[in-house]
Amino acid sequence: MKKLIVEEKYNNKKLNTYLLSKYKNLSTNTLYKALRKKDIRINGKRVSENVIIHTGDEITVFISDDLLSPNIDNHKYKTLHDFVFSNIVYEDENILLVNKPIDIETVSPNTSEYTLTNLLLEKYPNIAPCHRLDRNTSGIVVFAKNEVALNILLDKFKNQEITKIYSCIVYGILSPKHGTLTGYLFKDKKLSKVYISDTPKDKYKKIITSYSVLKEDISNNYSYLEVILHTGKTHQIRAHLSHIGHPILGDGKYGRNEINSKFKLKNQLLCSRKIIFNFETPSDILEYLKGKSFEIKDNLLKQIK
């Protein structure tokens, strides 16, 4: 049990903003689970919603210490913190685009570790991610700064009115040099892994992945690709490319250990490089984003040894 007294700077702020700023490693999932169980009290009264708090409120938190403050590498945390806040790709009153580094989750539903979202909540009290990148995938993540923008963006992602373009380096030389892959994906939640089939199967979802070869190194047997997701399923790029015999270099789950060892890689060479807001339907307060795109430079080729 922890007791906290709300400082003046948090007056009229949301409860989640306050607690996530106080406990850097508290996951959003753990916080909302505590709210559902009414394990948080304000001035002695149990609360089950993300309410507004005020100066002088006494907040009592019935969350185990290991979920509030697990052992972390403080140097690593500071390094990630500094990187994130120095790599804002774009920002306005409604949205925030951040270049996510590797080795950090966008959000973390199953652990209490620090996340990209928690880091940003320190400065942006109402921030919410509109999509996710895998822990070891770098690149642009889109966040909404308010509920209206969040709902619009979630709808746009769902209806494929926002295009995500990736860069990656895969093993082997591809032929043809441009292609659109169609397959079917099954997600095994217990193993946190997906499986690909070339033909429809029960509980498999259709996926479409396009690629173009930007550069290839025949002597070292690898190719640098641009990849566009036409469907956005878990691990889609990694699993789909591995399925056709061209795993992403450094991918410990869908790649091959002997290949990753050959290139001396510990992290997968995959980056969400570009976001295009190709809105086709009305977008309310975000209409100004229609037709805009934002891009970063990846450093994937520099990581090849």
End-to-end CA distance of the chain: 50
Distance (Å, rounded) from C-alpha 40 to C-alpha 31? 9
* Residue 271: partners with Cβ closer than 8 Å, 6 or more residues away: 137, 138, 139, 166, 167, 168, 296, 298, 300
Q: Which two tokens stand for residue 172?
A: 């082997």
- Give the H/E segment covering residue 74: helix 74-85
Strand partners, 196: 185
**The one catalytic residue among 66, 82, 92, 134:** 134
CA angle, 145 as apex, 116 and 268 as ends, to 5°?
A: 30
Q: Does residue 278 contact residue 291 with C-beta atoms inside 8 Å?
A: yes
82 is catalytic: no
Q: Does residue 301 contact residue 286 with C-beta atoms inside 8 Å?
A: no
Number of neighbours of residue 294 by Cβ within 10 angstroms: 16
Reported in sequence order, the residue ranges of the chain that DSSP labels E, i.e. its strands, are: 2-5, 40-42, 45-47, 58-61, 88-91, 95-100, 128-129, 138-144, 162-171, 178-188, 193-197, 205-217, 222-229, 270-277, 293-295
192: left (phi over 0), alpha (psi -120 to 50) or beta: left
Q: Does residue 221 contact residue 230 with C-beta atoms inside 8 Å?
A: no
Residue type, 251: D
Hey, which residues are catalytic here?
Answer: 134
